Structure 1
């Protein structure tokens, strides 16, 4: 069947015909969602880094998974990301919890991430708490419309399709029963799935509709089934190990 790589929508995968997505970057021994983790993922040769986009109090965009900073700071700083200005967030040491050598690692802005990734890898953009219009502007300014997969609620993705027809929406239908409606509504070219909703039939339904599938599964014991069932890509916390796995097949 025709895939999104075949028709030029996406660059072809770098390893064994399977897209590798580094969940929060390559963060084994490196603070997650930092430029260091994204650079490490690029060095490993991933196709995409996954980022989590939130908005600061003063309207900047940053990559932080949780809605609070509590888990990232060892000095007792707490609070919601949206209640800090960018300058306040940039002052936080989010690296020391992983190791003293990361004390200078900071929460990255969306613009910094685009700069690190442009021409080196794609971005799997998990829209946590942000308006899409200013994000589209920044992506267009960098000429990266075809380098970003947008993971968001269907309503947001419909808005994305209206505002940026060349952008790539990537819905997660949840249970397989939702797939026909998602396919009809969004006609996606890329579909995301978590392991508990994923099956051979799920993949076949997507492929029949002209979409590729990226499954989110870090457990190496699931990789064989993920690939046997026809997944076109895997999002994982272990990108280095996954690349070695697919190259050894």
Structure 2
């Protein structure tokens, strides 16, 4: 069967809180080829792992991340929210997909790219998000590997593809059928999908020849991949 890349969505969130070092390490122990993490900046410009704009959902502090310093985040979460640098150290040698939620500008994207470069992780990190975020990443790093997240069946405009220069097109799994998969591959891109969590959905996507699956159930995906 094709060599499908198994990507752990925010680590292994059924085992540990998402986007934590324990979650990332457990996902890799369970067989993930890569881990996907969400990165935002604190008030003082430190990239940390957090999907939401605030600490409310996971850490019960209704404080916007942009209002907090990295030290304050550390204190409010007992150190459970790692910096990007800490996450890259914890995943040393493994692929990491950096998702940039929200609307990061070129300055924010450059700060993230700088940390990746300072950690010597350029060769194993790739980026995913919508057009505005990926245009910012492309401006910050002409050599970045990009998975352009796309949320409609209509294909991205050629001008956008020329500007972003993605390697991957990244779709919500429910949008993907055989025609879309064939079109993406015919156009010369790799196809990644997010986030199927049932075995039935995973089997369907494996049968379509997708190149990468991002899931919250990395153990289930790796088991399916092993026994196909």
TM-score relative to the length of structure 1 = 0.82
CA–CA distance in 2 between the matches of 1:220 and 1:105?
34
Contact 1:36 1:105 survives alignment (8 Å): no
The 3-state SS of whatever aligns with 2:100 is strand
CA–CA distance in 2 between the matches of 1:154 and 1:90?
31
The aligned length equals 222
Measured against aligned partners, the alpha-carbon deviations of 1:60-96 in whole angstroms (never above 9, x if no partner) come to: 11111111111223xx532111111111111124xxx
Q: Return closer, same or farther for 1:209/1:186 CA change in 2, 3 Å cut-off.
A: farther
Matched, 1:174 2:151: yes
Structure (1/2) with the larger strand percentage:
2
The 3-state SS of whatever aligns with 1:167 is coil
User: Which residue of the partner structure matches residue 66 of structure 2?
Assistant: 82
Matched, 1:111 2:85: yes
Measured against aligned partners, the alpha-carbon deviations of 1:36-82 in whole angstroms (never above 9, x if no partner) come to: 00011121221111111111112111111111111223xx5321111
Q: Return closer, same or farther for 1:245/1:166 CA change in 2, 3 Å cut-off.
A: same
User: Which residue of the partner structure matches residue 173 of structure 2?
Assistant: 195
User: Which residue of the partner structure matches residue 62 of structure 1?
Assistant: 48
Mapping for residues 1-249 of structure 1, pairs under 5 Å: 17-73=3-59, 76-93=60-77, 106-119=80-93, 121-129=94-102, 130=104, 131-181=108-158, 182-216=160-194, 217-249=196-228
More displaced 10-residue stretch of structure 1: 138-147 or 166-175:
138-147
Please report the RMSD computed on the Cα atoms of aligned residues, expressed in angstroms: 2.0
Q: Return closer, same or farther for 1:186/1:56 CA change in 2, 3 Å cut-off.
A: closer
CA–CA distance in 2 between the matches of 1:176 and 1:122?
28
Gaps of 5+ in 2: none
TM-score relative to the length of structure 2 = 0.89
Q: Return closer, same or farther for 1:70/1:163 CA change in 2, 3 Å cut-off.
A: closer
CA–CA distance in 2 between the matches of 1:126 and 1:106?
19
Contact 2:100 2:133 survives alignment (8 Å): no
> How big is the shift at 1:180?
4.9
CA–CA distance in 2 between the matches of 1:77 and 1:185?
39
